[in-house]
Structure formats: C-alpha cells, structure tokens
Homo-oligomer: A and B are copies of this chain.
C-alpha cells in the first residue's frame, strides 16, 4: 500500500510505494526491483496468448469476432501499481510537519502492439496512431475521476531509462495532487500570459520556426524541435502548431499527423544514435485548466545518453554536453 508524503523543504509530494519491492536488505544485491525482463515471447505477460498472466484487462482493440488473443493494442492495470483507485485520498497532518495523502490514483499499462520486439519507431504509422488514440482515450477516462488532478502519460525504453519489461509499452499514472514541477510550469506560463496576453509555448514555437536551426521536422499540424535550453543531449519536443492546452482535447483527425511526427522523431533518434535508451512524457494542463490559454501541451523525448551526478542532484541544474543546434543538425541528416 502506497502513500504520498509531503516534503516540506521543497513542497514536493513523494510517492512511497513499498509494495513495488521486497525487503530493504534485498537491496544488498542491487537486483532489479521489479520483474526480470522476459527475453522471449514465451514467458512475456504482454505477449498474445499470455493474457491470463496480467491483471484484468481495462481495454483492447480487437476486430469484430476475433479471439481474446487477437488484439492490436491492450490496456491493463500495472501489476505493481505506484497508486491505486481503491486507496484513500484524504490529507493527514500530524501537526508536527509530517503530512501525507493515501495512495489514491491509477497506474495503467498500454501494450503497444502484439509484437514483443518491434520498437515503436519501426511500427507503421497506423499502429503509432492507435497507441496515441488509446493513450488519449485512457487519459480522458481517468480524468473523469475528479479525485485525480493530473495524469502523466509516459514511456520508458531501455534499461537505463527504467524499463523492466522489454515488450514495448506506455504507462499512465493518475495523481491526486498536481506535481510541483508541473505546477511550476503552469505558474511560469500563466505569468507570461498575464504579462503578454500570449501563450509562452506558442511564442517560443514561432521564434524557433523563425530561427530554424533547432527545428527537426514539421508537418501541417506539428513541429519537432530541440529546445534552446535542452536539459539533456538530443532532448526533442513535439508541439502542436495550433494553440491547445490539453492533450485530451486533440482532435481525432490530428492523431495521424502526430503519429507521423512521432515516428520521424523516434526513427531519427533510433538510427542516428543507435537505438538509445529514452523516456517520453506528455506535458499537459491539470484539472480545470483545459480551456485556459496559457499552456500548449507537448511531447518531450529525453534520450538517456549521460548520467546526472552529484552536481545535478545537488543543485537541480542540468549540464548538457551537446548544443541543441548541433544535435538538430546531426539528426536532420539522418534518414527517417
């Protein structure tokens, strides 16, 4: 059973989820704290035919009349959830500065395709669109639960990016609080809006399109760019070209150009950097701000090429060892 504890020195909420591991002394051997990675389809719980080895299915796309094992995308609860819908979401305060909330939330897995080994970058655009549509549908459904303030949609690829199961998948975690980093981004963008009447991100996109040198690709609806102050080498963002605060509001007919843009970005990173480990996350507004004008939802892809060390953990500052202009130029030269 997990809870969220308040860090009174930073105003962070920390999820303390001991159900995800065994006992403290098992850290002695520094074994992987979650299931070991199944190397083949035989023992992979995400592979077709092994549906009974996952918790009860939440959603799947199947052709009419097909069997339980014939799905194209499948959504299941995470077997080791960080947060659960059954938990309490009240706030507790012992009066001595120790505050917590019950571990109320949700933690779901989207299995990207029946294929155990095929990477998202290598999937046809149709399949990538299917994954994005499913992610949006689950986002919309989870946000109907008014206990949840936000839903983080993310993907881990590779061991150094925290993957525990190799079969390609996305995850969603709904939280009963707005994480401080997201709150900060919303405050910064709101202040910019109050001062200028414009969306900070839309203005940034216009400046980047004018400067060109950090643009990776663009189509009718989306642009992919490496931000001016990239925190890690080859950090790449995908942003809509038309203002839209929430990923949940993306129109159905724009899922395809988004899938096309995501494929280009992932393929270029995959080929240009020889299948790097990476994390991907969707930044969007929190509950109640969907119709506001200050924020532009976007996808961030963060390759895991370097290791944050004591300076980064101590100061919170990043050291980026590759200029985004050079990284963009390099990636533009990679076939996609």
| Partner among B97, B306, B316 whose Cβ is within 8 Å of the Cβ of A203 | B97
A315 interfacial by beta-carbon distance below 8 Å: yes
Some 30 contacts from A to B, beta carbons below 8 A apart, are A6-B229, A8-B188, A8-B229, A9-B185, A9-B204, A10-B185, A11-B184, A11-B188, A15-B317, A16-B320, A17-B319, A20-B319, A20-B321, A21-B321, A24-B322, A24-B329, A25-B272, A27-B322, A28-B274, A30-B305, A33-B306, A152-B315, A162-B309, A163-B309, A171-B311, A173-B311, A180-B316, A181-B315, A281-B311, A300-B314
Which stretch of A40-48, A50-58, A69-77, A230-238 is in the interface? A230-238
Asked if B279 contacts A313 (CB within 8 A), the reply is yes
| Partner among B8, B302, B321 whose Cβ is within 8 Å of the Cβ of A313 | B302
A327 interfacial by beta-carbon distance below 8 Å: yes
Could you tell me the dominant secondary structure of chain A's interface residues? mixed
Q: Which residues of B contact A171 (CB under 8 A)?
A: 310-311
Size bracket of the A interface: 35 or more
Which residues between 172 and 220 of chain A lie within 8 Å of chain B, taking CB atoms? 173, 175, 179-182, 184-185, 188-189, 192, 200-201, 203-204, 207, 210-211
Asked if A276 contacts B9 (CB within 8 A), the reply is no
Given contacts A17-B319, A98-B207, A203-B97, contact A156 B310 (CB under 8 A): yes
Q: Within the assembled complex, what's the spacing in Å between the Cα atoms of A162 and B318?
A: 13
Q: Which 7 A-B pairs have the closest CB atoms?
A: A181-B316, A162-B309, A281-B314, A154-B310, A7-B229, A279-B310, A179-B315
* A20 vs chain B, min Cβ distance (A): 5
Given contacts A20-B321, A200-B9, contact A154 B15 (CB under 8 A): no
